[in-house]
Amino acid sequence: MVILFGGEKGGTGKTTLATNLAAFLATQDMDVLLVDIDPQGSSATWANTRWQYSLRPLIPCVQISGDISRQIWKHNNKHEYIVIDAGGGDTAELQSALRTADVFCMPIKPSQLDLWTVQRMDELRVETLGVNGDMETYAILSMVPANPALNEAGDTVAALQSYPGILIAPVLIQDRKSYRDAARVGKSVAEIGDPRASREILQLASFIFGIE
Ligand SMILES: Nc1ncnc2c1ncn2[C@@H]1O[C@H](COP(=O)(O)OP(=O)(O)O)[C@@H](O)[C@H]1O
Ligand SMILES: [Mg+2]
């Protein structure tokens, strides 16, 4: 199964969710490969940090560029799960990766500026269905402010409903310092012991993979 994290914007939580889900799968003894197609290489740096500090489970990670779909096809029959972390933007790499993705995950911050970028991604989704007709597209509310009075998440969900082809994941990833703290040391939020953030990742994993 190939899960692709992408989106028009940087800084929405793609790397954070890709690395936490990869760690979740590896901790469940699933065979997962993390694939970093963002030239910034943040996922690869995170996986490298695990190697340096011998953090178990070690998570294999490859950095690839160019013709992504062909390279993913080669890896796909060797791993149960492939989690791809794409950078921000409508790049040739993202378009190539979309051809092989079973699931396209778009983390979205609850702000109008982020919502404006969904239109292009939805067009890309429709274009992709021509060559990869079974792909599912999920919007994941990410970095949601803790203050419920703002109701920005509710407003964002309402706005996303005008995209019937994009399913809204039934989980809110809140803005939590532990996501940043974990990333710095090559860990997941479960590994640094934040039960509330771990629960969010568990909910996301059970939604995407159907595993508990
Ligand atoms: N849910 C969250 N709560 C707090 N900080 C977050 C959260 N998700 C991401 N971050 C932080 O925000 C920044 C951008 O996140 P990142 O995952 O690198 O985004 P992207 O890969 O989409 O560019 C990083 O510093 C990351 O640690
Ligand atoms: Mg990133």
List, for residues 116-137, the tens digit of each pLDDT value: 899 999 999 999 999 999 999 9
Query: Which tokens in the block code for residue 193?
Result: 């012991």
CATH classification at residue 48: 3.40.50.300
| Local confidence band at 212 (pLDDT 50, 70, 90 cut-offs) | low
Three-class DSSP labels, 11-44: CCCHHHHHHHHHHHHHHCCCCEEEEECCCCCHHH
For the Cβ of 42 lying below 6 angstroms from any atom of ligand 1, the answer is: yes
**∠ CA 191-154-189, rounded to 5°:** 5
Closest-CA residue, ligand 1 atom 25, reads: 180
181 lines ligand 1 (CB under 6 A): no
**CA proximity to 57, closest of 28, 100, 86, 16:** 28
pLDDT of residue 149: 67
The response to whether residue 12 sits with its C-beta less than 6 Å from ligand 1 reads yes
**Cβ of 171 less than 6 Å from ligand 1:** no
Name the E strands within 44-110.
61-63, 81-88, 103-108
Residue 154 has pLDDT above 90, yes or no: no
Residue 94: pLDDT band (50, 70, 90) is very high
Contact indicator for 3, 82 with CB cutoff of 8 Å: yes
Question: Which of 108, 175, 180, 201 is the pocket-test mutation for ligand 1 (most atoms within 8 Å of CB)?
Answer: 180
What contacts 38, CB < 8 A, 6 or more positions away? 14, 15, 85, 86, 87
Q: Does the pLDDT value for residue 26 go beyond 90?
A: yes
> Do the beta carbons of residue 204 and residue 197 sit within 8 Å?
no
Q: How many domains does the chain have?
A: 1
Residues 159-198 have pLDDT tens digits of: 999 999 999 999 999 999 999 999 999 999 999 999 999 9
Q: 56-79 burial string, b = 16+ CB within 10 Å, else e?
A: eeebbbbbbeeebbebbeebbeeb
Q: How buried is 203 (Cβ within 10 angstroms: 0-12 exposed, 13-18 middle, 19+ buried)? A: middle
For range 154-163, the mean pLDDT: 92
Res. 112: pLDDT tops 70: yes
How does DSSP classify residue 136? E
Structural domain that includes position 16? 2-209
Q: Is 11 in the pocket of ligand 1 (CB under 6 A)?
A: yes
Does pTM top 0.75 for this prediction? yes
Please answer whether residues 167 and 137 qualify as being in contact, where contact means their C-beta atoms are separated by less than 8 angstroms.
yes
Task: Taking residues 13-30, report their average pLDDT.
Answer: 97
**Alpha-carbon distance 89 to 152, whole Å?**
24
